[in-house]
Amino acid sequence: MAAFTVVKKEDLEAQQKEESVQSLRCITSELGPLTQPDGSAVFTQGDTTALAAVYGPADVKISKELIDRATVEVIYKPKVGLPRPVDRKLERIIKNTLEAAIMALNHPRSLISIVIQETESLGANLACCVNAACMALLDAAVSMNFMVAAVSAAVTDKGEIILDPVSRVEDEARAVLTFVFDSVDKNIVTVITSGQFSQDEYKKCLYLTKQACDNVFSFYKDSLSKKLLKSA
């Protein structure tokens, strides 16, 4: 494995053109399926589905209160049973990602609570949860610096890169990488990886996911336009 080869950007792009064009699985969503929270969204990528609800800016417990910013809280509810340490990790990742996106300084001493219910986890669950949470925040009209979009990629044993993998591919893959991008400069907000991969595999994944995140952002825009123009 070429662990530290430097790949020229032009070479990489040429290589990408040769490979078959990959795209994300079909994305669908529903804004505001729940009536009680301030904002909610169902986000589906292929067969993976997550339901997110946002409460906030709301009242915060004194123990969690931050004097200069809003407390961001993410609660992940698995399909069955109580949250396990794996789910806690997921909560932490999503929380750190969204804290960067939310303008927490605008609402000091308040709580922005995001509850994510796993509905169907069939590949790229983390990406789906991040996207669902972002849509729910948009539905609740919480002040944000930028939007976020997450895209997963899997590296198979043969070194192939598969975008937005289904769970079977994810299980067999040598490595799974999830990238979260912001909507302004398409910079990386979060990277979560598992497994082994070389540097150029990482770069390839980054290149492919960065291109695919535009689809997610344009999807956000379409669904919000639909909602907002309806009420106008």
Partner 1 sequence: MANHIGTVVLPGDVLKDIKPPDGSKKLLLGPGLVEDGDVIKVCKPGILRYRDPGVYWLDCHQKRYVACKGDQVLGIVTQKNVDMFRVDIGCSELASLSYLSFEGATKRNRPDVKVGDVIYAKVLVANKDMEPELVCIDSYGRSSGMGVIRGGGFLIHTSLNLARKLLNPQCVLMKALGNRFKFEIAVGMNGRIWLNTQNDVQTIAIANAIFAAEYMDNDQITSMCKKLSRVMSGME
Site residues (vs partner 1, CB under 8 A): 38-39, 55-60, 101, 103, 106-111, 138-147, 182-184, 220-221, 224-225, 227-232
In the complex with partner 1, which residue's Cβ is closer, 16 or 143?
143
In the complex with partner 1, which residue's Cβ is closer, 20 or 231?
231
In the complex with partner 1, which residue's Cβ is closer, 125 or 190?
190
Using an 8 Å Cβ cutoff, are 93 and 192 in contact? Answer: yes
168 token code pair = 């079977």
Task: Give least dist CB 218 to partner 1, A.
Answer: 10
Task: Give least dist CB 151 to partner 1, A.
Answer: 17
Residues 6+ apart with CB under 8 A from 31: 40, 41, 135, 139, 223, 224, 227
Using an 8 Å Cβ cutoff, are 181 and 188 in contact? Answer: yes
- Which sign, positive or negative, has the C-alpha torsion 170, 171, 176, 179? positive
In the complex with partner 1, which residue's Cβ is closer, 174 or 186?
186
Task: Give least dist CB 135 to partner 1, A.
Answer: 10
Task: Give least dist CB 207 to partner 1, A.
Answer: 22
CA distance 157 to 193: 16
